């Protein structure tokens, strides 16, 4: 492709993108395709000769678009939102054009230096203590894995990478029963084993935090049994119901026991730019050794962008740094972020944060988050008043869950019917052994009308179900 042709197509695609976003409300949120339908429309063998871009774009519309679930749809109330705001998207276009590889300072000085400054902007934005630094990763899963490996090495006096884990004693890591599955996977991959992830029961009301007395007792029990307690993982805003642990008391236990700590705030971290939302769930966050939050969820940075704050990055570097000859650079002392993470190659993710934060300002971002929280609470009260409906978990920031009349199977049928209807998209969960419907507000284009319309759609589809006797 010639570069002037590229420029024409680039302009065309920008136009396409703007129109797509302007007309999103007219599309069903969840893809309405059946498994295999899209694959059947793709050529089974690769073309031998090149095809014109015209034909490729036409097929994109015909084949791909019907199979897209629209994460940027204003009535996306499932999972957690993954906002791709316009300024962050423009930054990603520039990154796509430059295509830098940011593993070392030398391979992309601007990316490295901007990353350090963006981490510090966000540290200030989230009210974390001065001196905390950090690194941008692809996902919370990667950041959590890095933290668990650091916990492991810290507990083993940094001998695990060399000697392996056999004969080292049973490493034990503690968390609540509300943590995200990425914690379990990090434990598997780190060689610690699911049986050594000690899940402490969480409270069944309030902020659903883990029981700290049980945590302390488990650690004592493990020490008495000759095991090796290695770390504690806390959550601010768990995925299922938004569970928040009491960070101060957990940090007290960790300090007394000399344990490394990691805090998963992948979703709720973004809301911590609003000082009034920090009370009390964020108290003590600055005492954690490692904190992960995903600006690619609620803050508006295009996927992928996961920030890991670190109190003492030298511990994570001592765990992950490796310096083969071909990566050595001469000259002044610099930061090479690939020494802080598992992948060597790194994208230029700081640019979209810079575009995003400058374009909205922190206050512009706060307005959206505050609206989402207020509208979720408003809809929760509407649903609470309906006959036969029940609020299962109260709003935690902008997430709550409810049950419609009927048994567990009826809840799932209602979720499926709502998503087949297409006007909104929601997902299910389980709380206290009972199936419920999960509802979160977090998409940047969502209006109060969209949230209230969701209420109407739920009432309408549920009533239709009741009438059908299903
Ligand atoms: C989304 C989420 C994760 C996983 O994030 P990835 O970036 O997709 O790995 C982990 N923890 C919580 C609480 C989340 O909401």
pLDDT digits (tens, 9 = 90+) for 103-159: 999 999 999 999 999 999 999 999 999 999 999 999 999 999 999 999 999 999 999
The stretch 243-253 carries a mean pLDDT of 98
Q: Please tell me the distance between residue 452's alpha carbon and the centre of ligand 1 in angstroms.
A: 27
**Burial degree of 295 (CB within 10 A; 0-12, 13-18, 19+):** buried
pLDDT on residue 84: 96
Nearest atom within ligand 1 for CA of residue 267? 15
pLDDT on residue 323: 83
What is the topology classification, in CATH, of domain 362-468?
Answer: 3.90.1150
Closest C-alpha to 76, from 297, 302, 307, 301: 297
Mutation probe of ligand 1 site: the residue of 208, 239, 241, 342 with most atoms within 8 A of C-beta: 239
pLDDT on residue 324: 83
pLDDT on residue 244: 98
Given the DSSP bridges, would you call strands 197-200 and 260-264 parallel, antiparallel or unpaired?
Answer: unpaired
Nearest atom within ligand 1 for CA of residue 235? 13
When pLDDT is cut at 50, 70 and 90, the band that residue 52 belongs to is: very high
pLDDT digits (tens, 9 = 90+) for 13-31: 999 999 999 999 999 999 9
pLDDT on residue 327: 80
- Domain definitions of the chain by residue range: 3-69, 101-347, 362-468
Give Cα 335 to chain centroid, integer Å: 26
Predicted structure pTM score: 0.97
User: Is the CB of 80 within 6 Å of ligand 1?
Assistant: yes
Q: Is the pLDDT of residue 468 over 80?
A: no
Q: Is the pLDDT of residue 330 over 80?
A: no
Over pLDDT 90: what percentage of the chain?
Answer: 95
Nearest atom within ligand 1 for CA of residue 294? 7
Q: Please tell me the distance between residue 189's alpha carbon and the centre of ligand 1 in angstroms.
A: 17
The stretch 88-101 carries a mean pLDDT of 97
When pLDDT is cut at 50, 70 and 90, the band that residue 65 belongs to is: very high
Question: Strand pairing partners for 402?
Answer: 391, 437
Which class is domain 101-347? alpha beta
Residue 238 tokens read as 């768990």
User: Is the CB of 270 within 6 Å of ligand 1?
Assistant: no
User: Mean pLDDT, the chain, as a whole number?
Assistant: 96
Question: Strand pairing partners for 201?
Answer: none
Is 3-69's fold the same as 101-347's?
no
When pLDDT is cut at 50, 70 and 90, the band that residue 401 belongs to is: very high
Question: In 129-240, which ranges are continuous DSSP H helix?
Answer: 140-155, 160-163, 181-189, 212-224
When pLDDT is cut at 50, 70 and 90, the band that residue 333 belongs to is: confident
Q: Is the pLDDT of residue 470 over 60?
A: no
pLDDT on residue 469: 62
Give Cα 451 to chain centroid, integer Å: 22
Interhelix angle 448-468/350-384, rounded to 10 degrees, is 50
| CATH architecture type of domain 3-69 | Up-down Bundle (1.20)
Q: Is the pLDDT of residue 406 over 80?
A: yes
Q: Is the pLDDT of residue 89 over 80?
A: yes
């Amino acid at each position: 492709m010639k570069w002037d042709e590229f420029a024409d197509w680039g302009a065309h695609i920008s136009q396409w993108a703007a129109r797509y976003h302007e007309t999103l409300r007219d599309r069903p949120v969840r893809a309405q395709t059946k498994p295999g339908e899209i694959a059947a429309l793709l050529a089974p063998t690769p073309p031998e000769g090149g095809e014109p871009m015209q034909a490729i774009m036409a097929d994109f519309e015909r084949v791909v678009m019907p199979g897209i679930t629209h994460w940027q749809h204003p009535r996306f109330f499932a999972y957690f939102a993954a906002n791709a705001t316009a300024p962050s998207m423009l930054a990603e276009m520039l990154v796509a054009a430059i295509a830098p590889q940011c593993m070392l300072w030398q391979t992309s000085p601007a990316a490295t230096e901007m990353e350090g400054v963006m981490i510090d902007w966000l540290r200030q934005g989230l009210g974390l203590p001065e001196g905390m630094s950090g690194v941008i990763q692809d996902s919370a899963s990667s950041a959590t894995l890095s933290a668990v490996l650091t916990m492991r090495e810290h507990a083993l006096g940094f001998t695990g990478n060399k000697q392996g884990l056999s004969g080292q004693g049973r490493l034990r890591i503690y968390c609540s029963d509300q943590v995200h599955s990425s914690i379990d996977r990090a434990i598997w991959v780190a060689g610690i084993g699911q049986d050594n992830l000690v899940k402490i029961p969480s409270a069944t009301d309030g902020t659903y935090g883990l029981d700290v007395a049980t945590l302390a007792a488990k650690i004592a029990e493990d020490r008495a049994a000759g095991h090796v307690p290695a770390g504690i993982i806390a959550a601010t805003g768990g995925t299922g119901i938004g569970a928040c642990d009491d960070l101060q008391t957990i940090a007290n236990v960790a300090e007394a026991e000399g344990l490394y700590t990691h805090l998963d705030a992948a979703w709720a971290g973004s809301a911590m730019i609003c000082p009034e939302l920090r009370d009390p769930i964020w108290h003590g966050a600055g005492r954690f050794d490692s904190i992960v939050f995903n600006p690619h969820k609620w803050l508006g940075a295009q996927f992928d962008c996961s920030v890991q704050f670190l109190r003492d990055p030298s511990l994570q570097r001592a765990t992950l740094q490796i310096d083969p000859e071909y990566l050595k650079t001469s000259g002044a002392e610099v930061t090479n972020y690939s020494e802080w993470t598992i992948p060597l190659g790194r994208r230029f993710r700081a640019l979209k944060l810079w575009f995003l934060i400058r374009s909205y300002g922190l206050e512009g971002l706060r307005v959206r988050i505050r609206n989402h929280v207020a509208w979720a609470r408003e809809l929760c009260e509407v649903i609470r008043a309906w006959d036969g409906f029940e609020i299962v978990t109260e709003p935690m920031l902008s997430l709550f869950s409810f049950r419609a009349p009927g048994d567990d199977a009826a809840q799932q049928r209602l979720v499926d019917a709502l998503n087949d209807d297409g006007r909104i998209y929601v997902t299910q969960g389980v709380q206290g052994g009972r199936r419920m419907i999960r509802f979160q507000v977090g998409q940047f284009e969502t209006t109060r009308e969209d949230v209230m319309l969701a209420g109407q759609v739920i009432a309408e589809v549920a009533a239709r179900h009741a009438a059908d006797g299903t």
